[in-house]
Amino acid sequence: ECGPAATRSTLIDGLRKVGVALQDIRHLLLTHIHLDHAGAAGHLAQVGAHVHVHPFGAPHLASPDKLLASTRRVHGEAYEPFYGDLLAVDAAHLHPVQDGATLSLSGRVLRALHTPGHARHHVVWLLEHASERHAFMGDLAGILVPHSRFIAMPTPPPMMAASLMGVSITRCVPNWACKPLYWPKMPPRPTSSPTTTTRGSACISSAKACTAASL
């Protein structure tokens, strides 16, 4: 995950603190193409990073006009400070990943699982190293509110597949015994699949009811 282009300087500063330059990043693994997760992908590709993403998401990174337009519709004038400039990812650096595909990077194996729910193009990345497995969940398992145990489920219309979210969470967590789970920009959290699924289902049901009432 790279975050939006608007926070690129924060990303560069964070990398510098651990002795890494932006051009040292050779591979960027995206959970999905929403701009809070993938908005800076074109900038990283421009300096050499290979971008790995769900096949449904790849065309929108190559030609991001629709992605840009839909995000602008939602955020209006707030788009620029939130997201910044969006660059296309060139074909040579764009790699669609199939369900179950693996990448071997620096002696570690990462596996892509297609996990529709938050978006139909969502991917969870599983890192297998020694005896441990770690799951990078993107927005599939919700947003963990800082300094609390509250999990909110982001429910963006119209792409959310609520009926698949619980199935995808269950597929990732029990079968792989992943610990910990990684939410973007948050510390690792221990696996808690039943709790996450129950709370997530409640949030999804509430979102569906609100949507139905507004139509």
Shortest CA distance to 86 belongs to which of 103, 56, 61, 106? Answer: 61
- Domain for residue 121, yes or no? yes
- Tell whether 15 and 73 lie within a shared domain: yes
- Tell whether 113 and 48 lie within a shared domain: no
- Tell whether 112 and 167 lie within a shared domain: yes
- Tell whether 111 and 87 lie within a shared domain: no
- Please state the domain count of the chain: 2
pTM for the model: 0.79
What the block records as the tokens of 60 is 């929108």
- Tell whether 115 and 142 lie within a shared domain: yes
Which among 96, 118, 145 is the end of a domain?
A: 96
Which among 78, 96, 114 is the end of a domain?
A: 96
- Domain for residue 88, yes or no? yes
- Tell whether 45 and 111 lie within a shared domain: no
Which among 53, 70, 96 is the end of a domain?
A: 96
- Tell whether 87 and 134 lie within a shared domain: no
- Domain for residue 112, yes or no? yes
Output the domain CATH number for residue 177. Answer: 3.60.15.10
- Domain for residue 215, yes or no? no
**What is the full per-residue pLDDT of the chain (215 aa) written as tens digits?**
899 999 999 999 999 999 999 999 999 999 999 998 999 999 999 999 999 999 999 999 999 999 889 888 888 888 888 888 999 999 999 999 999 999 998 888 999 999 988 888 999 999 877 777 788 888 887 776 667 666 676 666 555 566 677 777 777 765 555 554 554 544 455 444 444 555 555 555 555 565 455 44
- Tell whether 182 and 106 lie within a shared domain: yes
Domain interval for residue 130: 102-210
Task: Give pLDDT, residue 173.
Answer: 67
- Tell whether 117 and 175 lie within a shared domain: yes
**Angle between helices 193-214 and 162-176 in degrees, nearest 10:** 170
- Tell whether 112 and 176 lie within a shared domain: yes
- Tell whether 92 and 116 lie within a shared domain: no
If you ran DSSP here, which 8-state letter would residue 148 be given? Answer: S
